[in-house]
Each structure stands twice: as structure tokens, then as C-alpha cells.
């Protein structure tokens, strides 16, 4: 079926100097193409082109069963893989009205927060590297290896674990899990101030980040910018506080809200979130209740006819899962509202008037993972 080519509404004039950044580019962190229109060093507008890694996950999920969907959701925002899995599992469990054991809730929350830490560490080191502080890359990765080692011991894989399953977990965590997590917290509490020493207080870094890419609260809400990027503009969007799930209602933690609205505010929100994550893990890791690692589920999971909706807070924002079921063992339609999709399209508003170097800083502070945009 062929359609006529639709003309783009942005008129490109003859004197516009158009530079393409991507799809292969060291700082776009994925296959994304920015069509940047320059006037000298200043940017007039930027158009993101996506679809280079569109795999049709939503269509594929219509042909596989619910436990099999977990393996595909891993690969959307691969840095918060566990939280993506959890979203689908929670939606299915709510629909079947299954109560998971307490042990499962605690372990899921601890793994969520470890995943959030690993994701923020990778964000920090990539952000430093984009701005030119190449040493930051190695410091962040060095510490992230400890978390990935914990994951590997329990699940067998470092990044895409697919450990959740509707009803609970695939199997129990390794006996060493608690001790290693406690050791890691002690280790990382000593290392996290180093991050501040290297980047946060640096004059050059602050000059590159303060006042760049200002986004006020109305823009954040209108574009649906959630996660740390939205919280840097005083938009209280933390799903862990709005609609708590798993063990989040049992822990004390602060929702970090700053009203700077610029790159530096978004940076500080993520740094503070790392401290909060450590606090949450500390509160939970000693008190994991004994019990089953999964609830009793039927071998073939069929959701009753109807529509179900669930939201979780990934490292980058709010992930919402919307399942339409017609009673079969595969979903009729599943929709993933991914945080990066909404976060990307505010770029044009943020970069207008800035320089190319600021485009890199802004897209680093929005922390985009491209496979999540394309799905």
C-alpha cells in the first residue's frame, strides 16, 4: 500500500547550514539522527529523526505469551531493564488479582534501586565524557562493575536479566546477595563524593551546564517530561510517590525536586537520587522476609477480557503499560508509554539559540536511551 510523500512543514531555506549528527555519533548514545540547522555556531532548530532501531516490539508481543513478553521488554530501555520487566509483571498480576509474597516485593524493590544506581552511574560517566572529562567515564564504570557482578551472580547475566515473571521471580536470589549488596553500599558511599569532586564543583563544568537548556514547569508538563529531567524543573512526577508499588510504601525516601530547570539542575537531581537509592536499599536489605519467590500461577496465563494499565518509575521517567486482553494467552494489544519518547521531543525548544556544544550537554542531561524511543 503506497502513500504519497508528505511534505515536511519546516521550510528549509537555501542559506541554512544543515549538519547531521548521527546516526553514528559518539554522543547521541544510540542510533538517533539530529538534523541541526546552524547559523554560524548558533542553532536555529534541531529535528530529531528516529526509527533506526524500530523493532516492532508492540506488534511482536501480540504473538507471544505474557512470560515471553518479559524478554522483549528488557530490550526497550536496557539500562532500566528490571523496571521494564516489573511494569509488565505488575500489570498482569493486578489483572489476575494475584498477591505476590512479601519476599518478592522486597527483592524487586532492591533490584529496582540497584538498577537505578547502575543506570545513573552510566549516565554520569557518559555525560562527563561528552563534555570532555574523559576520566569520569572510567570512574563511573569502575563502580558500576560491582553492581553488575552482583547481578551476574544471582541471574547469570549482567544487563538484561529477565528475572521477573508474572507472579514473582524466576528463581530465588543467590545466598550471597544480601552480603554483597551491603558491602557494595558501604563501598559506594565512599566513592560517591569523588564524583562530586571531579565534576560537580568544577568551574568549567558549571560554566558548561548552568543556564543551558532551561525548561520551565509548564513546558515540562505539556511535553510530558517525567523522571529526573522533569523533577529538575519542579514537576513532581515520581510514580513511586504517586502510586506506590512493590515495597515503596514501606520505605522512607525523598522525592528530589529542584527548580533550576537547566542542565545543572537535572544533573543535581540525578546525583541526589543516587544517594536516595542507597538509602532505600539500606532500609530494605536487612529485612528481606523469608518465603516463596513466586506466587502460585497457572501454567498458561490468560488475562480476563478487559483493559489494564500500570505505571512504574524507571531511571528515566514514567513507563506505563496498557494491555488490552481478549481472554487469550497472548495480549490483543499492548502499548508501552516510554519515558524517552516524550523526553526527546522537547529538544527543539531547549536548544534554540544555543551552540553545538550545548546540544551535546542538553541531550546528555536529558539522558536518552534510543531503543526506548523506537521500541
* Residues 50-79 close enough to bind other proteins by CB under 8 A: 50-51, 54, 56, 58-59, 63
Closest to other proteins by CB, 276 or 358: 358
Q: Which of residues 347-366 bind other proteins (CB under 8 A)?
A: 355-358, 360
Which helix (H) or strand (E) segment is 49 a member of? strand 42-49
202 binds other proteins (CB under 8 A): yes
Pairing of strands 33-39, 17-21: antiparallel
CA distances from 85 to 119, 142, 160, 170, 320 (A): 15, 26, 10, 12, 12
**Apex CA 142: angle with CA 140 and CA 147, to 5°?**
90
Of 16, 23, 27, 185, which lies in the binding site for other proteins, with binding defined by CB under 8 A?
Answer: 27
- Here's the x/- map for other proteins, 84-113, by CB under 8 A: it reads as ----------xx------------------
Of 171, 204, 254, 259, which lies in the binding site for other proteins, with binding defined by CB under 8 A?
Answer: 204
337 binds other proteins (CB under 8 A): yes
Which helix (H) or strand (E) segment is 255 a member of? none
Cβ contacts of 171-174, under 8 Å, gap ≥ 24: 171/293, 172/293, 173/107, 173/293
The answer to whether the CB of 319 falls within 8 A of the CB of 230 is no
Q: At its nearest, how many Å lie between other proteins and the CB of residue 236?
A: 7
Closest to other proteins by CB, 42 or 283: 42
Stretch that binds other proteins, among 18-26, 73-81, 144-152, 184-192 (CB under 8 A): 18-26
For CA atoms 242, 372, 214, 121, give the dihedral sign: positive
Stretch that binds other proteins, among 74-82, 131-139, 170-178, 275-283 (CB under 8 A): 131-139
Cβ contacts of 9-13, under 8 Å, gap ≥ 24: 10/45, 10/47, 12/37
Of 306, 327, 328, 352, which lies in the binding site for other proteins, with binding defined by CB under 8 A?
Answer: 306
The answer to whether the CB of 80 falls within 8 A of the CB of 110 is no
Cβ partners under 8 Å of residue 338, min gap 6: 76, 77, 319, 372, 373, 375
300 binds other proteins (CB under 8 A): no
What is the size of the binding site for other proteins (CB under 8 A)? 72
129 binds other proteins (CB under 8 A): yes
Closest to other proteins by CB, 57 or 111: 57
Closest to other proteins by CB, 44 or 337: 337
Stretch that binds other proteins, among 110-118, 163-171, 234-242, 291-299 (CB under 8 A): 234-242
214 binds other proteins (CB under 8 A): no
Q: Which of residues 132-161 bind other proteins (CB under 8 A)?
A: 132-135, 137-139, 142
242 binds other proteins (CB under 8 A): yes
188 binds other proteins (CB under 8 A): no
Q: Tell me, what DSSP letter sits at residue 333?
A: E
307 binds other proteins (CB under 8 A): yes
**Alpha-carbon distance 71 to 163, whole Å?**
9
Of 183, 179, 178, 181, whose CA–CA distance to 103 is shortest? 178
Amino acid at each position: 500500500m503506497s502513500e504519497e510523500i508528505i511534505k515536511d512543514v519546516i521550510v528549509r531555506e537555501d542559506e541554512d547550514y544543515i549538519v547531521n549528527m548521527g546516526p553514528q555519533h559518539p554522543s547521541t548514545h544510540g542510533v538517533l539522527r539530529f538534523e541541526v540547522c546552524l547559523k554560524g555556531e548558533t542553532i536555529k532548530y534541531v529535528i530529531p529523526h528516529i526509527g533506526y532501531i524500530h523493532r516492532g516490539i508492540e506488534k511482536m508481543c501480540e504473538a507471544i505469551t505474557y512470560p515471553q513478553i518479559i524478554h522483549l521488554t528488557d530490550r526497550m530501555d536496557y539500562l532500566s531493564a528490571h523496571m521494564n520487566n516489573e511494569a509488565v509483571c505488575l500489570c498482569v498480576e493486578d489483572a489476575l488479582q494475584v498477591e505476590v509474597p512479601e519476599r518478592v516485593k522486597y527483592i524487586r524493590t532492591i533490584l529496582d534501586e540497584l538498577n537505578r544506581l547502575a543506570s545513573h552511574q552510566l549516565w554520569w560517566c557518559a555525560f562527563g565524557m561528552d563534555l570532555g572529562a574523559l576520566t569520569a567515564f572510567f570512574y563511573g564504570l569502575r563502580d558500576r562493575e560491582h553492581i553488575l557482578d552482583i547481578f551476574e551472580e544471582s541471574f547469570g547475566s549482567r544487563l538484561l536479566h529477565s528475572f521477573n515473571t508474572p507472579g514473582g521471580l524466576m528463581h530465588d536470589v543467590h545466598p550471597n546477595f544480601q552480603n554483597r549488596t551491603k558491602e557494595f553500599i558501604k563501598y559506594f558511599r565512599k566513592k560517591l563524593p569523588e564524583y562530586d569532586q571531579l565534576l560537580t564543583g568544577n568551574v568549567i563544568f558549571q560554566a558548561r551546564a548552568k543556564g543551558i537548556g532551561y525548561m520551565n514547569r509548564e513546558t515540562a508538563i505539556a511535553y510530558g517530561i517525567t523522571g529526573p529531567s522533569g523533577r529538575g524543573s519542579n514537576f513532581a512526577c515520581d510514580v513511586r510517590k504517586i502510586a506506590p508499588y512493590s515495597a515503596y510504601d514501606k520505605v522512607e525516601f525523598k522525592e528530589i525536586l529542584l527548580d533550576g530547570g537547566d542542565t545543572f539542575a537535572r544533573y543535581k537531581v540525578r546525583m541526589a537520587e543516587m544517594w536516595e537509592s542507597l538509602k532505600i536499599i539500606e532500609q530494605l536489605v536487612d529485612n528481606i522476609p523469608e518465603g516463596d519467590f513466586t506466587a502460585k500461577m497457572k501454567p498458561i496465563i490468560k488475562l480476563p477480557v478487559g483493559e489494564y494499565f500500570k505505571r512504574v518509575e524507571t531511571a528515566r521517567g514514567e513507563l506505563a503499560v496498557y494491555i488490552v486482553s481478549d481472554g487469550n494467552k497472548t495480549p490483543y494489544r499492548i502499548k508501552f508509554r516510554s519515558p524517552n519518547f516524550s523526553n526527546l521531543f522537547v529538544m527543539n525548544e531547549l536548544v534554540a539559540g544555543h551552540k553545538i556544544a550545548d546540544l551535546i550537554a542538553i541531550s546528555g542531561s536529558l539522558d536518552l536511551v534510543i531503543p526506548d524511543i523506537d521500541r
